[in-house]
Structure 1
Amino acid sequence: MSAYAAKPWLALYREGTPAEIRPEHDTALALFDASVRRAPDAVLIRYFDGALTVREADEAANALAAALADDGFAPGDRLALFTQNNPAYVIGLIAAWKAGGTAVSINPMNRARELNYLLADSGATALLALDELYAEVARDVIADGGTAVRTVVTTSALDWQNRDDPRLFGSAERRDEGVRDLADLVARPTRRMAATPKPSDPAVLTYTSGTTGIPKGAINTHRNLVFNAQTYRDWIGLGETDTILGIAPLFHITGLVGHVMLALLLPAPLVLSHRFQPAVMLDAIREHQPTFTIGAITAFTALAGVPEASREDFASLTAVYSGGAAIAPAVAESLENQLGIQVHNAYGLTETSSPSHCVPRGVRAPVDPASGALSVGVPVFNTVVRVLDEAGAEVPAGQIGELATSGPQVVPGYWNKPDATAESLPGGELRTGDVGFMDEHGWFYVVDRKKDMINAAGYKVWPREVEDVLYTHPAVRETAVVGVPDPYRGETVKAYVSLNPGASASAPDLVAYAKERMAAYKYPRIVEFLDEIPKNASGKILRRELRDRSPENPVSERKPG
């Protein structure tokens, strides 16, 4: 028997945690319908000073689904959701299922070229968009006729609340864009819609970030989503008395499953605040006292950077997880010291419908003494993860290779991309593209993305290890390490760094700091300071964008201040 088939990680589960679970619902729509029957008057969404109950969300989704059907939206069609973290996203998601269709999550940061690609690739026939995004981006895309979209519904970020927080909305006002308005649809009496999707049907097309190529639509099935929603609930021990803080973007797989699907399952209130703005999010925490959240580590460091933030503000958050971006041990320690929250690691991909690994609640993940990496946890229920060499053969515990994941959360493939599906999901097992290892106890560690490895004079350098060392410097707020061309070494190590407010450090300082703590081939030869390290909407640092930057600056650069 292989080391992975033996599942040594089961011994690390909390006492009483089963090795496998059986989802209570077959589809995402059945999951929500069960909550409608069980707790119709429970609050499902808190949005500034507004609230929607489970019943109200159900009725709103019925209204939108009926309007779509009247416009010819048929079972199997796709509804694109082009919003921020607004109640409309949740309503649109449920409406797509009620109409027998599939939702398509669209990043609200996308511009016309990107939106056109996603609408055309998904074949979406309907679009639900924020009025401002429709006016600024989508209108011209639809007018050009290069997509199949024939029905457009707009919504305002000001709906379902009355506070109109000027830090987010400024002078914003509800706009009439000459198309159907969601608030008008919801206000009218309508019929109940009740499609019956199958567990294998696509529930959501969630597009990969495109940081390493053209975005691909991962087919997150109903079976995938209900399994991982229940994984969150059962792994962490959450119930209807909990409150979920919506810190991750809902279009991203973490927000979709770790926020929306979990809230629909419990049901429990999901706190939304349009988009992430640290001071606004801090106020939402103070007002709504959430107990659970999961988001990128960069979001938590941003909250820690709000001048008035205190440990008392975060006392209600008894279960905090982070996914989507690597956590340096020094950052996790700093957050616990400053905010009093223990950030548990979680790991997964769009293709695993959020988590494939989690640290058991209340357990401190170990740090690998050789690489300095913080463990991403252990495989969750019903999941097997193997570590493979370049030839696809299993490597022993402790050896580095590519992580390959099998389980009920793994997608069946990419939308209309059979070649990419065959390459990434041979036999239904996901080749993650992430390099890491399992230790002898069953803890897993992700060293880096396979494509981010730096080859410096024939030596392999993993950016994560260099970043983790730089994070221990007191002046460093964020850092990203990439390989850049070098005439002598082939590639050399370059670090982009942003500093903590009021801190000062020179490039030679940071080079010397790393040199003292790393092998000679690993430490960065070049340091460039940036005010902000570029990230995507989910908080993941965009190394490819950094690699594509202009030629190198000298090591003698100094950050003013």
Structure 2
Amino acid sequence: MSAYDERPWLARYAPGRPGEISPGFDDALTMFRATVARASDRDAIRYFGRHISFGELDRLSDAFAAGLAAEGFAPGERVAIFAQNVPQFVIAQVGTWKAGGIAVSINPMNKQREVAELLADSGAAVLVCLQSLWRDVAAEVVPDSGVRTVLTTSELDLCEDTGAVVFAGVERIDCAGTLDLLTFLDRHRDTAPPAVTLRPDDVAFLTYTSGTTGPPKGAMTTHRNVVFNAHTYRDWIGIGDDDVVLGIAPLFHVTGLVGHIAVSLLAGAPLVLMYRLDPALALDTAEAEGATFTVGSITVYIAMMNAPGAEKSKLATLSKVYSGGAPIPPSTVQAFRDTFGHYIHNIYGLTETTSPSHAVPFGIEAPVDPDSGALSVGVPVYDTVVRVVDDDGHDVGVGEVGELVTAGPQVVAGYWNKPEETAAALPGGVLHTGDVGYMDAQGWFYIVDRKKDQINAGGYKIWPREVEDVLYEHPAVREAAVVGVPDEYRGETVKAFVSLKAQAQVTPEEVIAFCKERMAAYKYPRQLEILDEIPKTVSGKVLRRRLRSRD
């Protein structure tokens, strides 16, 4: 609720003080080039047996930028990247910066309508696309999109082990009317791209919000934002060139863009990519590569715990484990430690804060609020001021619930071509998060829930997260999600959705009874449905709208 210099107790927790984080770089490209200069021969990317050094990544991204210039690309134009976690994503990202452009990451789960909407909204001039996504999605929408150049590539390119389990059924595809990316890079190899000047407030990429609350908006993430939070990850957690980053978050998402790519480019630590997440493969890869750091959604860690072969030896080296994007039940943190021997540190932020605005310092265990059972999301990171306010925008007291309002160098410049939405969510450059929470007397922050997700049952206010935490305590429950649904008597009532652990058997009535024993009468779910999977975005956020629409 206040700034660092007003809270000296933070020195007990935070790895540094305000002003001690000194990026020294004006833009993400200069940051990358500094790493190339000192660590050219070190691995930048590892992908199924293929090792790409920082020097090779520099040369490949030079070729990409030179090729864009040859195709008439101008600084300030946009390059859309429609791909899974493959090396080509990183090459295109860095190459776009070298061309003076803005990268636009597109969720590889998007369908034609969604891709058409993002291409139109961003005004992308170039599309980098996996062959399979071109065939299944993009080929139908690009002719009407304004995209001038399409570069296609295979997930089998730039790897040695093409027989990996995630490639089952994958084959190279002829994409008529497009340019092959590897041929394109080879054609422009050893060609220096035109020099560009990037400024701190230039947009590095457009990161589209997940759309769980409405149409996606392109958050304008600046180079200043990227450089600052890359340093936050590095310095807060203590990531160096002796670390290995396990890429479990999708690269199109802000967590992957900053917590995987940017921190790797800054620290000189190799980024291990796995095409797309397979929990058992992630365990094997972490063991084989000696992975030491990762950040991802709690749903990924749940999947890893329930994967075949989940045992401590698989993650023996993975000591720096962080999770964000969704509330973390304390019981899940304990279950992960029981399984793998490591503590999951909470991290909190939004697309609009370029990933973290709060984090649990590495090596410190977050407190659990004794009244609500909520696990703290941490304390504000460097140079970040967070207030908790009521509906009128007035600060509330310690322990009182209100909306989190965040100011700091990681807050984005606004939404692309949406001045009204920018003014509403970011008045004066300060982010009104829409997340409801509170700060305790020691300065730890707790997220209660999204403001819009509160359930009003006959005048009683219920936060879904509190019910979900109880559901996660049931030994048969793998994942849980709670929504409010219409009720003739109470106006709204609590409905729960759960998926079960392998071989677990339980009835909805038994789970409801479990909750009834542990919660106030107005809180426990009156309805419960067992699903094979809880619907989520790729970044792990529960799609509550889809759950509500089942009724």
| Coarse TM-score class (shorter-chain normalised) | over 0.9
Equivalent residues of 2:292, 2:317 under 8 A apart: yes
TM-superposed deviation, 1:186: 2.3
* Aligned match of 2:114: 114
Normalising to structure 2: TM-score of the pair?
Answer: 0.97
Cα distance, 1:523 vs structure 2: 0.6
1:386/1:403 contact within 8 Å kept? yes
1:165 aligns with 2:166: no
Aligned residues: 547
Aligned to 1:68: 68
Structure 1 residues 421 and 15: alpha-carbon distance in aligned structure 2, compared to 1, 3 A threshold: closer
Q: Which runs of 4+ in 1 moved over 4 A?
A: 2-7
Change in Cα spacing, 1:394 to 1:182, as seen in structure 2 (3 Å) is same
Measured at CA, do residues 5 and 341 of structure 1 come closer, stay the same or move farther in structure 2, by a change above 3 Å? closer
* Corresponding position of 2:154: 156
Q: Deviations over 1:94-151 (max 9, x none)?
A: 01101111000100000100000000000101000001111111111012x1x22001
Relative to the length of structure 1, the TM-score reads 0.96
Asked if 1:214 is matched to 2:215, the reply is: yes
Counterpart-to-counterpart distance in 2, 1:227 and 1:15:
16
Contact 1:66 1:190 in 2 (8 A): no
Q: Contact 1:7–1:384 at 8 Å: present in 2 too?
A: no
1:512-527, aligned counterparts within 5 Å? 512-527=513-528
CA distance in 2, matches of 1:174, 1:226: 36
Distance in 1, Cα, partners of 2:295 & 2:543: 20
Q: CA offset at residue 166 of structure 1?
A: 4.6
Shift of 1:187: 2.3
Give SS of 2:428's match. Answer: helix
CA displacement, residues 371-396 of structure 1 (integer Å, 9 cap, x when unaligned): 11100000000001000100000001
Cα shift readout 1:54-102 (whole Å, capped 9, x = no counterpart): 1111111111111111111101000000000000000000011011110
Q: Contact 1:348–1:354 at 8 Å: present in 2 too?
A: yes
Structure 1 residues 4 and 513: CA distance shift in structure 2, 3 A:
farther
Aligned equivalent of 1:446: 447
Residue 92 of structure 2 corresponds to 92
What's the Cα RMSD here?
A: 1.3
The residue number in structure 2 matching 1:183 is 182
User: Which residue of the partner structure matches residue 127 of structure 1?
Assistant: 127
- Paired residue type of 2:202: D
After superposition, the Cα gap between the structure-2 partners of 1:163 and 1:201, relative to the gap in structure 1 and judged at 3 Å, is: same
Contact persistence 2:15–2:235 (CA under 8 A): no
Distance in 2, Cα, partners of 1:279 & 1:426: 45
Q: 3-state SS of the aligned residue for 1:300?
A: helix
**Cα pair distance change 1:15/1:452, threshold 3 Å:** closer
Is residue 9–residue 443 contact of structure 1 (8 Å, CA) maintained in 2?
A: no
What is the CA-CA distance between 1:209 and the residue it aligns to? 0.2
- For the residue of structure 1 that corresponds to 2:185, the secondary structure is helix
Task: Please show how residues 247-286 of structure 1 align to structure 2 within 5 Å.
Answer: 247-286=248-287
In 2: Cα distance, 1:241 partner to 1:24 partner: 21
1:192 equivalenced with 2:192 (yes/no): yes
The share of aligned pairs that are identical, in percent, is 56
In structure 2, the residue matched to 1:23 is 23
State the secondary structure of the residue aligned to 1:118.
helix
Q: Which residue number corresponds to residue 101 of structure 2? A: 101
Unaligned runs of 5+ in 2: none
For residues 40 and 34 of structure 1, the distance between their equivalents in structure 2, rounded to whole angstroms, comes to 10
Which residue in the other structure is 1:558 paired with? Answer: none
Cα distance per residue 1:212-261 (max 9 Å; x no partner) = 10000000000000000000000011101100000000000001000000
The aligned amino acid for 1:336 is R
Deviation of 1:448 after TM superposition, in Å, equals 0.2
Q: Aligned partners of 2:304 and 2:114: how far apart in 1?
A: 30
Write the distance in 2 (CA, Å) between the matches of 1:55 and 1:142: 33
Residue 172 of structure 1: how far off its partner (Å): 2.3
Match of 2:57? 57
Partner letter of residue 308 of structure 2?
P
Task: Tell me which residue corresponds to 1:553.
Answer: none
Question: For 1:8 and 1:298, how far apart are their aligned partners in 2?
Answer: 34
- Contact 2:496–2:525 (CA under 8 A) maintained in structure 1: yes
State the AA in 2 paired with 1:218: A
- Whether the aligned pair in 1 keeps the contact of 2:11 and 2:17 (CA below 8 Å) is no
Which consecutive unaligned segments of at least 5 residues does structure 1 have?
551-561
Partners of 1:440 and 1:393 in 2: CA distance = 19
User: Match for residue 140 of structure 1?
Assistant: 140
Instruction: Give 1:459 shift.
Output: 0.9
